Chains A and B, each alone.
Chain A
Amino acid sequence: MQKIGVFVCWCGSNIAATVDVAKVIESVKAIPDVAFASDYRYMCSEGGQDLMQNAIREHGLTRVVVCACSPRMHEATFRKAAEAAGLNPFLLEIANIREQCSWVHKDKEVGTEKAIALAKAAIAKVRFNSPLQAGQSEVVKRALVIGGGIAGIQTALDIAEAGYKVDLVEKKPSIGGRMSQLDKTFPTLDCSACILTPKMVDVAAHPNVTIYTYSEIEKVSGYVGQFEVDIRKRARSVKADLCTGCGVCQDKCPSKKTPNEFNQGLDNRSAIYITFAQAVPKVPVIDREHCLKFQTGKCGICEKVCPSKAIDYTQEDEIITQKYGAIVLATGFETIDLTKFGEYQYGKSKDVITSLEFERLTNAAGPTEGHLQRMSDGKQPKHIVFVSCVGSRDVSGRGKEYCSKICCMYTAKQAMLTREKYPDTDVTVFYIDVRTPGKGFDEFYRRAVEEYNVHYIKGQVGKILEQGDHLLVYASDALSNSHISLEADMVVLATAIQPSQDAKKLATMLTASIDNNNFFTEAHAKLRPVESPTAGVFLSGVCQGPKDVPETVSQAGAAAVKVLGILSKDTLATNPCVASCNERICSGCLACENVCPYGAIGGEEKTVINLNGKREQRVVSVVNEALCQGCGACTVACPCGAMDLNGFSNKQITAEVDAIC
C-alpha cells in the first residue's frame, strides 16, 4: 500500500481563480492510497516546500503528487525538496493544472473537474514510479563556440579566460562577423573596427582558444558533457603556417570579378583574397569557383608570386573530430531578401541600398574609402531618404512579423553621420514608430532631430521611380494626412534581419529547437534566456533574437558563465529516465538496436534465467545507460514489452490512460 501525498498549489489566483482547490483536495482524499492532501498559496515558496517536507516526514509518504504549474517550471524544485525530506526525487509527479488547465479554461466548474482528472492521472502514474538513481557521466573540459562574430568571440574569450579550452568555429575565412562590417556604433559613435579588432586579436592569441575559420559543423552526437563534433575545415588552398599575409597574391590575381561579400557586393574582389585588412587569421583563401587555376587549369600566378611558398592547390577539406562538454551557438544574422519588395526598386536602381551596404559605403575601408557617393554615378548624394521597417513588423508574408530592434538606432546613426560629414545633404527618415529603449538611445535620436536637423516623417514609402538621375519617392505623411512625393538621390532601406541560414541545419544537428522564424528557442523566455532546451547547448547573440552590440556582448558573457558552470564540474548527473531491458523476456530480436538514435543498445549473447527459471544462453539487448537519452523509441519497437523506459514505463503510461478515460 502506497502512502501518497497530494499538494495543490493556488499559484495565488493563477490557479485558484479557475480551480476550486478545496474541491480538488476533497476528491483526491477519496482515492485509495492517498494518505495526505493539502493546498497552499504558493507551493514553490519556502512555506510550500516546508509543508511538503513536513508531510513526507510526519505521514511517512512514499509518493508525492504536486498539482501546480508545468513540470517544466518547477519539477526540479519539488524533486529537490522531496529529496531533502528523504524521498527519492523520482517518486514525485506533477499534475500541470496551471498551463494546461486554469490558464486555458475560464469556467470554474470545468477547470475544477479537469484539475481533478489531471490529479487522478498523476496519482495513477505515481503509484508505479520507482526510485531512480542518477548516474554520473564525465565532463569533457572543452567548449565549442559556433560563430565567430562579436558574440562568439566574447563567449570564447570569457571561457578561455576562466582557464578552459575553447574551439571557435567560423564559416567565413575570417572571424569578426557582422560587427566588422559596421562603420560606427550607436549611441557613442565609436569606430566599430577600433573596438572589435583588439578582441579579435585577443581571442586569436589566447592560448586556450583554437580558431577554425572557413570551417563548418558537419555532425554532432553525444550529450551534455560528452558532445562529439565533426568540424569540416574547408581547404583554403593556402598553407596558414607559411603565409605572412603580405597580400601580393591577391594583388596579382587575374580573376577580379567576384562580388565582394564583405562589402555586400558593392565592389569586386580577386579569386584569392583576404576578407578585409584586419582579418584574423590574415591568411587568404582561394575561392575555387572563381579561380582560373581550378576552373581552367591554367594560371597559377599566386603560387609563383607568393614569397613564402604558401599556396597549395592540392589542399583538401579536413574533418576534425573533437569532444566537448558544452556548445554555444552564436550564428548571428543576415538581412532578409528584398525581391518581394518590388516597390523600392532595390536591385534595379543602384542608388537604392540596404543600410548594411550604407555602412560599407561610409566605412573608410569600404569600396569608396568612406566617401559617400552614389553607386550609379559616383556623385555625392544631395538628398538621402531612409526608410525604416523594411520587412519588419510585416505579417503579409513578405517580411518578418517581429521588430528587428536595431534599425531605429542605426538609421538615426547613419542619418546623423551623414549630416555631420556632409552638411549640405538633406536627410529624410520615414518611420512607423521610433523605438529607442536603451541607455542614451532616445537622447541619441533626439540629437539627430534637434542638432542635425534630420527630417523625420511618420509614414512609409509606397513607390520609388527612377527619373533621370533622380529617384522619385512617393510616400505618405500620416500625421498630416497627406500623400507626398519627393526627389532623392539615394534611398537607404533599413532591412529586417533574420537568423543565419545555417541555424536550421544546426538546430537539427544539435536537437536545439528553433521558432517559426528560425531563431533558437531559449529554455525559458525570462529565466533561462541563454540556455537552449537541450542540456549543454547555449545561445549567444542574435541567433536567439534581434540584439544590438552591448546586449549581444552581455548575453555572450552570460552564455560563457553557463558553459563554465558545466566545465567546472568533473561529472554530471545523468538522466536516470533511461531504457532498461528485462532480460528474462527479451527475445533478442534487436529491433530496439535498429531504432536507437544513440547507438546505446547492443545485442549480447548472455546466460540468462529464462521464464521457466532455468539458465539458458541467448542473445539479449543490453542498454548502455550512459549513452541512452531516454527517448523511448526502443520500447515501442520491442514487440514483447521487454524494453521499458524508466520514469515513463508501460505501466505508468497505461495507468495514466486508464485514469483519464
Chain B
Amino acid sequence: MQKIAELIKKEAESLLKENKVTAVWAWQPGEFYYDNSPVCFTAPEQLDKLVYNEFCPSNLGKYLMAGSKKNETMAVFAKPCDTYGINQLIKDHRIKRELITVIGIPCSGMIDIKKIKNQGVKGIISVSVSGDDVIVTTAYGDKNFKKSEVLLAKCMSCKGSDYMIADKELGEKMEVKCQKLNPEDGVKKLEAMTSQERFAFWQQELSKCIRCNACRDICPACSCEQCIFDNQEAAVAGKASANTAEEQMFHIIRAYHVAGRCVGCGECARVCPQGIQLGLLNTKFAKDINEFYGKYQPGADDDSKAPLVDYKFDDVEPTISAKGVR
C-alpha cells in the first residue's frame, strides 16, 4: 500500500502542478493510525499530508458534488468499489463527467478497527500492516491479527478489482484475500424465518436508530438537494423516531428511494454509530430486483435505465406469495 500511496502523491502533484485540476480529493491521516479522513488538496505543498493505507474506506465521490455545481475541475482517487458510486452520481446528474478525472487505485481490502476493538483491544498507539499480518501496539502491549480476519464487512463481499469508471489506473490490480461473504446470505437467512421472527428482528435492529442520518449522508445514491425527510412540506419530516413505526418508515423509504440505485458499497452499515445492519435492507431490494426483473448492478455504468423507472409488459404481478391469504 505504501508504494501506491507514493504513486498517488506523484499523480496528485502532477495534476495540481500542471493545473489539470483545481482540486484533488484524497485522504489525510487523523489522530491515530486508523482514522484517516477525506480531504481536498488544492496546492502541491499540502500533499505531504496525503495518505493511503488500509484505513481509507470512505468513498470520495460524493464530495465532487459541490465543486461540480461551481464548474470546478477535480480529480478523485477511487478504489474499485468507489467507482460504482461515482458512476451512480454521474447518472443522477449530481456530478459532471467532463469536470472530473477519476484515478483508479488498487485496494486489497480495508481493515475494520471496530473488529479489532471488539476483541478487547484498547489504548491503540500504532498499527502496522504487512501482508496478512496486522500488529497493533497498545498502551497495554502488542496484539497480532490476521488482516483477512479483521476486514470490513463490505470488503469481504468485494465486487472485484475492476474499475467501472477510470481515466487512469495506478499500480497493479490487487485482490482481497479472505473468506468471501455473499451479502445475499444474510437476506436469505432472514427470509427463511417466520414473519413474527423477522418482525422481532427488525424491531430490535431499527429501535437502535438515533436518526443521525449518517447512513443517508454517506450514501452515494442519497444525493438529493433536500432529503424528503428534511422537507417540512412532505409530511414525513421527522428529526427523531418517536416509535417503531416511524423508524420503519424512515428505513423502508430510504431503502426504497435507493432501490435500483444502491451500488451496494456497504458504507451505510459501516458508518452507523449504532451498528444497525442496514445492508440487509438494501440487499433485499437488490435481490428482489435481480430476481423479478433480471440482474442489475447499479453503478456498473452511467447510462442504463434503473429498474424502477423501467418496465416490461410481462413483469411479475404484485400478488401475495404467502399461503392461505388468497
Chain B: CB-nearest residue to A617: B69
Task: Kindly list the 7 A-B residue pairs having the minimum CB-CB distance in the complex, ordered from nearest.
Answer: A594-B309, A640-B224, A639-B257, A589-B92, A654-B235, A588-B93, A619-B93
The residue on A at minimum CB distance from B66 is A616
B257 contacts across to A, CB distance below 8 A: 639
Bound CA–CA A586/B224 (angstroms): 8
For B231, the chain A residues whose CB sits under 8 A away are 585, 640-641
Binary CB contact string for chain B from 48 to 83 against chain A (1 if under 8 A, 0 otherwise): 000000000000000000000111000000000000
Asked whether any CB of chain A lies closer than 8 Å to the CB of B308, the reply is: yes
CB < 8 Å: which of B70, B94, B226, B306 contacts A585?
B226
Q: How far is the CA of A595 from the CA of B308 in the complex (A)?
A: 9
- Pick the contact of B225: A590, A594, A640, A651 (CB < 8 A): A640
The answer on a CB contact under 8 Å between A641 and B69 is no
B-side contacts of A619, CB under 8 Å: 93
A603 close to B93 (CB less than 8 A): yes
Complex partner residue of B228 from A590, A611, A641, CB under 8 angstroms:
A641
Specify the chain B residue showing the minimal Cβ separation from A595.
Answer: B309
B309 adjacent to A610 (CB under 8 Å)? no
How far is the CB of B253 from the nearest CB of chain A, in Å? Answer: 9
Residue in A587, A611, A617, A651 whose beta carbon sits within 8 Å of that of B92 in the complex: A587
With a cutoff of 8 Å between Cβ atoms, the chain A residues found around residue B69 in the complex are 616-618
Sample of 5 further A-B pairs with CB below 8 A, known A639-B257, A640-B226: A588-B94, A594-B310, A641-B234, A650-B233, A651-B235
In the assembled complex, B223 has its CB within 8 A of some CB on chain A: yes
Task: Mark contacts of A628-646 with chain B using CB atoms, 8 A cut-off: 1 yes-contact digit, 0 otherwise.
Answer: 0000000001011110000
A151 smallest CB distance to B (angstroms): 31
Chain B residue contacts of A641, Cβ below 8 A: 228, 231, 233-234
- The answer to whether residues A610 and B225 also contact, given A594-B309, A637-B308, A641-B234 and a CB cut-off of 8 A, is yes
Which parts of A576-591 form the interface with B (CB within 8 Å)? Answer: 584-591
Report yes or no: B226 in contact with A650, Cβ–Cβ below 8 A. no
Residue of B nearest to A588 (CB): B93
Alpha-carbon gap, A618 to B92, bound state (A):
12
A contact residues, total (Cβ < 8 Å): 25
Q: Which residues of A contact B308 (CB under 8 A)?
A: 591, 637
CA distance A619 to B225 in the complex (A): 11
Q: Is the CB of A640 within 8 A of B233?
A: no
Which of these, A594, A639, A654, contacts B224 with CB under 8 Å? A639
The residues in A between 445 and 461 inclusive whose CB is less than 8 angstroms from any CB of B are none
Contact (Cβ within 8 A) B94 A587: yes
Q: Which of B70, B71, B223, B235 contacts A587 (CB 8 A)?
A: B223
List which A587-609 residues lie within 8 A (CB) of chain B: 587-591, 594-595, 603
Residues of A contacting B228 in the complex (Cβ-Cβ under 8 angstroms): 639-641
B245 interface residue per 8 A CB criterion: no
For the complex, what is the distance from the CA of A616 to the CA of B234, rounded to whole Å?
A: 24
Q: Which residue of A lies closest to B68 (CB)?
A: A618
- A543-590 residues with Cβ-Cβ distance < 8 A to B are 584-590
- Tell me the complex Cα distance, A595–B306, Å: 10
Residues from chain A with Cβ under 8 Å of B235 in the complex: 650-651, 654
Within A221-263, the residues touching B (CB, 8 Å) are none
Compute how far the CA of A651 lies from the CA of B257 in the bound complex, rounded to whole angstroms.
19
In the docked arrangement, what's the CA distance between A651 and B92, Å? 26
Q: Check A611 against B309 for contact (C-beta < 8 Å).
A: no
- Interchain Cβ contacts under 8 Å between A and B, 26 examples: A584-B225, A585-B225, A585-B226, A585-B231, A587-B94, A588-B93, A588-B94, A589-B92, A589-B94, A589-B224, A590-B92, A591-B308, A594-B305, A594-B306, A603-B93, A610-B225, A616-B70, A617-B71, A618-B93, A619-B93, A639-B224, A639-B257, A641-B234, A650-B234, A651-B233, A654-B235
B227 located at the interface, meaning its Cβ lies under 8 Å from any Cβ of chain A in the complex = yes
- A611/B225 in contact, CB under 8 A: yes
Considering only CB atoms, which chain A residue lies closest to B222 in the complex?
A639
Q: How far apart sit A594 and B233, CA to CA, in the bound complex (Å)? A: 25
The interface centre, meaning the residue of A589, A591, A619 with most chain B CB atoms within 10 A of its CB, is A589
Nearest Cβ in chain A — how far from B235, in angstroms? 4
From B225, B228, B234, B308, residue with most partner A Cβ within 10 Å: B225
B178 to nearest A CB, angstroms? 34
**Size range of the chain B interface in the assembly:** 20 to 34
- Taking the closest CB of chain B, its distance from the CB of A311, in whole angstroms, is 40
A651 partner residues in chain B, CB cutoff 8 A:
233, 235
Q: Which residue of B lies closest to A633 (CB)?
A: B309
List the B residue with the shortest CB-CB distance to A636. B308
Q: Which residues of A contact B224 (CB under 8 A)?
A: 585, 587, 589, 639-640
Min CB gap A640→B, angstroms: 4
- Beta-carbon contacts under 8 Å, B9-40 to A: none
B 88-99 to A, binary, CB cutoff 8 A, 1 in contact else 0: 000011100000
B318 CB to closest chain A CB (Å) equals 15
- In the assembled complex, the Cα of A594 lies from the Cα of B306 at a distance in Å of 9
List the B side residues contacting A585 at CB < 8 Å: 224-226, 231
- Bound CA–CA A639/B222 (angstroms): 9
Assembly CA distance A640 to B306 (angstroms): 17
Q: Which residue of A lies closest to B234 (CB)?
A: A641
> Which residues does chain A contribute within 8 Å of B93, judged by CB atoms?
587-590, 603, 618-619
Checking A586, A591, A650 against B306 with a beta-carbon cut-off of 8 angstroms, the contacting residue is A591
- A586: chain B residues at CB < 8 Å are 225
- Interface residue ranges of B89-114 to A (CB < 8 Å): 92-94
Cα distance A652–B144 in the bound complex, in angstroms: 61
Residue of B nearest to A655 (CB): B235
Minimal beta-carbon separation of B168 from chain A (angstroms): 27
- Bound-complex Cα distance A650 to B257 (A): 16
Bound Cα distance from A589 to B223, whole angstroms: 9
Give B71's nearest chain A residue, CB to CB: A617
* Nearest Cβ on chain B to A382's Cβ, whole angstroms: 55
Residues from chain B with a CB closer than 8 A to the CB of A588 are: 92-94
- Which residue of A has the minimal Cβ distance to B308? A637
- Chain A neighbourhood of B306, CB < 8 A: 591, 594
A639 surroundings in chain B (CB, below 8 A): 224, 228, 257
Bound-state CA distance A588–B309 (Å) is: 15
Question: Inside 8 A of B233's CB, which chain A residues have their CB?
Answer: 641, 650-651
Q: Report the minimal beta-carbon distance from B72 to chain A, rounded to whole angstroms.
A: 12
Select from chain B the residue with minimum beta-carbon distance to A589.
B92
Hey, which chain A residues are within 8 Å of B226, CB to CB? 584-585, 611, 640
Measured between alpha carbons, how far is A6 from B214 in the docked complex, in Å?
A: 47
Closest CB in chain B relative to A214 CB, distance in Å: 28
B87 to chain A, nearest CB (A): 14
Distance in angstroms from B85 CB to nearest chain A CB is: 14
Residues 211-253 of B, flagged 1 when their CB comes within 8 A of A and 0 if not, give 0000000000001111110010111000000000000000000
Q: Mark A134-147, 1 if CB is under 8 A from B, else 0.
A: 00000000000000
A189-223, CB < 8 A from B: none
A587 touches B309 (CB 8 A): no
Residue of A nearest to B94 (CB): A587
- Chain B residues whose C-beta falls within 8 Å of the C-beta of A589 in the assembled complex: 92-94, 223-224
Docked-complex contact B234 and A587, CB < 8 angstroms: no
Complex CA gap A212/B219 in Å reads 57
A-chain residues with CB within 8 Å of residue B92 when the two chains form the complex: 587-590
A591 neighbours in B (Cβ, 8 Å): 306, 308-309
A594 to B69, CA, bound (A): 23
Chain A residues with CB under 8 A of B227: 640
Nearest CB of A to B299, in Å: 14
How far is A88 from B115 in the complex, measured between Cα atoms in Å? Answer: 64
Bound CA span A611–B232, Å: 13
Cα–Cα distance between A617 and B227 once the two chains are bound (Å)? 19
Contacts of A587 in B (CB 8 A): 92-94, 223-225
Taking CB atoms, residues of chain B closer than 8 Å to A594 are 305-306, 309-310
Residue of B nearest to A650 (CB): B234
Closest CB in chain A relative to B42 CB, distance in Å: 20
Set of chain B residues within 8 Å of A610, measured between Cβ atoms = 225
Cα–Cα, bound, A640→B223 (Å): 10
Closest B residue, CB atoms, query A618: B69
Contacts of B223 in A (CB 8 A): 587, 589
CB distance from B225 to the nearest CB of A (A): 5
